[in-house]
Amino acid sequence: MPQSAPFKKILVANRGEIAVRVIRACREMGIPTVAVFSDVDRAALHVMKADEAYLIGPAAASESYLNIERILDVAKRSGADAIHPGYGFLSENAQFAKACGEAGVKFIGPPSSAMEAMGSKTRAREAADRVSLPRVPGSVRALESVAQAEEIAASVGYPIMLKAAAGGGGKGMRRVDKREELASAFAAAQSEALRAFGNADVYIEKLIVQPRHIEIQVLGDEHGNLVYLGERECSVQRRHQKVIEEAPSAIVDAPMRQAMGETAVALARTAGYYNAGTVEFLVDQQKNFYFLEMNTRLQVEHPVTELVTGLDLVHLQILIAAGARLPFSQNDLQLRGHAIEVRVYAEDPDNNFFPSPGKITRLLTPSGPGIREDSGIYEGWTVPLDYDPMLAKLIAYAPSREQAVHRLRRALNEYFIGGIASNLGLFQEILNDDNFLAARIDTGYLDRLIANRKAVESSMNGNGEKIAAIAAALMQPERNGNAASRNNGANGTSYLGNGRWKRVARQEALRD
């Protein structure tokens, strides 16, 4: 801990659990915090946790959490000398980072030049080539004509992906299986990219079949020191929304970690990167890894890296932004244990994951050994429908993957959110699935699990609830005192397991 605080006051330009996470780090470092909030977030948790809070506008993010002028005005009025952007919103907006600098407020993140360099996928691929990194085969620059697209597609081989240079995170992607489909797909991808990003540039990548998504956390100071903090396995996702992340990945061994880590650091170095960043890779079934894109922010899933490295990434981000040198080198870093994070969303897995905002009438949160919960909610609060429906992250840490799974199952069993639907029940299913337990996961894993579950339901002709009740009654004698054999569904909707019904009934009886 430094003698004098690195900043006088930090403005947190975000909401929800990440704003609370940043405020906690500031409090630990003795730095006062300023929260900003929209009309619908007056009673939000981050507002209560900060030392001061300012209204910045209506619910629409474009008029509040994305409003650069309003946020910088609050920084000036409150006397904040640094801004932490969290993730999402303005966190990867190079213009915002620049505007902070011009207003004399330190942006806690990478330089705007590095954000710009990595914000364009084609520029990022050029950077990858400059330092000879393995990237997904395909075109480096934007395609200029159908003829050129056909030539490149033929040389890498079908199927291919057309991707928007300004895209990312799955937006503006299109799969093409054969030459006959290319011309029309190319035109459609261009107009889609223009509409979505204001930039029609499209490039080609070879399609990687059933890839894993594995990413490397990097951290650098403003003096040119850069390290990698191991990988995160993020393959369990749905519609480009990560659902479970873990560290380390079951398929990455020490040599592979080193190769991916050194690759990630080389890319960060060529972009003049500092502060926290993440280099994403696709990993094919032969464990070849390919650079995909770089995220120039602190990520949602940073806690799993914190747990296995023993570091506090937000503390480090703040110290780095104040000009400190990294307090360790690559050789000092050791990974220890296994961490698994689940993202708790206000959405209904039994209704096509439809968002389910509303009032939280009852909240029982897990704790105990090896459990961390990063949350932006509290009992009695109404989840607004205007933002991402992520409520909280639950993270289990244990010496091994198997023990982390057991710990996470136990914690999920303690978790109860009343009044709104959540995806808590889905995690019990995943954590009891043989493929997940054997770490046989790729980016299509969760879609297959959900499709499979739908097929089972329809084979029961809509009698699932009755069949479950009969099964539960039949199995009752063995189930008594055998918690491990229970198969719990979502809160209040059990597929099997009479014990769970009784418990939910007890909890519901407590409701207002």
Residues contacting residue 172 through CB under 8 Å, at least 6 positions apart: 163, 164, 166, 189, 192, 193, 196, 197, 202
Give yes or no for a contact between 164 and 199, defined as CB atoms under 8 angstroms apart.
yes
Q: How far apart are CA 469 and CA 463, in angstroms?
A: 10
Q: Binding residue for ligand MV4 (CB under 6 A) from 120, 443, 491, 494?
A: 443
Q: Binding residue for ligand MV4 (CB under 6 A) from 59, 68, 161, 194?
A: 161
Rounded to a whole number of angstroms, the minimum distance from the CB of residue 397 to ligand MV4 is 24
Structure tokens at 138: 């395909």
Q: How far apart are CA 495 and CA 498, in angstroms?
A: 9
Strands lying side by side in the sheet with 275-283:
289-295, 275-283, 212-220, 226-238, 241-247, 338-345, 390-398, 371-375
Looking at residue 310, what DSSP letter applies?
T
Roughly what angle, to the nearest 10 degrees, separates helices 112-119 and 94-102?
170
Q: Does 136 bind ligand MV4 (CB under 6 A)?
A: yes
Counted residue by residue, the chain has a size of 512
Q: Binding residue for ligand MV4 (CB under 6 A) from 38, 237, 423, 494?
A: 237
325 is catalytic: no
Of the ranges 161-169, 320-328, 430-438, 464-472, which one interacts with ligand MV4 (CB under 6 A)?
161-169
Rounded to a whole number of angstroms, the minimum distance from the CB of residue 204 to ligand MV4 is 9
Residue with Cβ nearer ligand MV4 (240 or 454): 240
CA 183 remoteness from chain centre: 34
Residue with Cβ nearer ligand MV4 (2 or 170): 170
What three-state secondary structure class fits 359? strand
Of the ranges 202-210, 322-330, 376-384, 417-425, which one interacts with ligand MV4 (CB under 6 A)?
202-210
Residue with Cβ nearer ligand MV4 (169 or 399): 169
With CB under 6 A, what is the number of residues at the site for ligand MV4?
A: 18
Q: Does 213 bind ligand MV4 (CB under 6 A)?
A: yes
Q: Does 109 bind ligand MV4 (CB under 6 A)?
A: no
Q: Does 448 bind ligand MV4 (CB under 6 A)?
A: no
How much of the chain is in helix, strand and coil states, percent to nearest 5?
A: 40, 25, 35
- Residue by residue, DSSP assigns 485-507 as G----BTTB-SS-HHHHHHHHHH
Q: Of 135, 232, 297, 372, which one is the catalytic site residue?
A: 297
Residue 184's φ and ψ, nearest 5 degrees, are -70, -35
Q: Does 244 bind ligand MV4 (CB under 6 A)?
A: no
Q: SS3 string of 378-433?
A: CCCCEECCCCCCEEEEEEEEECCHHHHHHHHHHHHHHCEEECCCCCHHHHHHHCCC
Q: SS3 string of 95-160?
A: HHHHHHHHCCCEECCCCHHHHHHHHCHHHHHHHHHHCCCCECCECCCCCCCHHHHHHHHHHHCCCE
Q: How far apart are CA 450 and CA 237, in angstroms?
A: 11
Residue with Cβ nearer ligand MV4 (133 or 320): 133
Number of H helices, E strands in the chain: 17, 22
Residue with Cβ nearer ligand MV4 (296 or 375): 296
Convert residues 296-335 into a mask of x (bound to ligand MV4 by CB under 6 A) and - (unbound).
----------------------------------------
Rounded to a whole number of angstroms, the minimum distance from the CB of residue 163 to ligand MV4 is 7
Q: Does 240 bind ligand MV4 (CB under 6 A)?
A: yes
Rounded to a whole number of angstroms, the minimum distance from the CB of residue 210 to ligand MV4 is 9
Q: Does 157 bind ligand MV4 (CB under 6 A)?
A: no
Of the ranges 142-150, 166-174, 222-230, 335-343, which one interacts with ligand MV4 (CB under 6 A)?
166-174
Q: Does 218 bind ligand MV4 (CB under 6 A)?
A: no
Q: Binding residue for ligand MV4 (CB under 6 A) from 82, 153, 292, 342?
A: 292
Of the ranges 168-176, 347-355, 411-419, 496-504, which one interacts with ligand MV4 (CB under 6 A)?
168-176
Rounded to a whole number of angstroms, the minimum distance from the CB of residue 167 to ligand MV4 is 8
Structure tokens at 512: 């207002």
Q: Does 120 bind ligand MV4 (CB under 6 A)?
A: no
Give yes or no for a contact between 176 and 162, defined as CB atoms under 8 angstroms apart.
yes
Q: Does 216 bind ligand MV4 (CB under 6 A)?
A: no
Looking from the CA of 94 toward its CB, the CA atoms found within 13 Å total: 11
Q: Binding residue for ligand MV4 (CB under 6 A) from 211, 248, 349, 499?
A: 211
Catalytic machinery residues: 297
The contact set with ligand MV4 (CB under 6 A) reads 136, 161, 168-170, 173, 205-208, 211, 213, 237, 240, 282, 292-293, 443
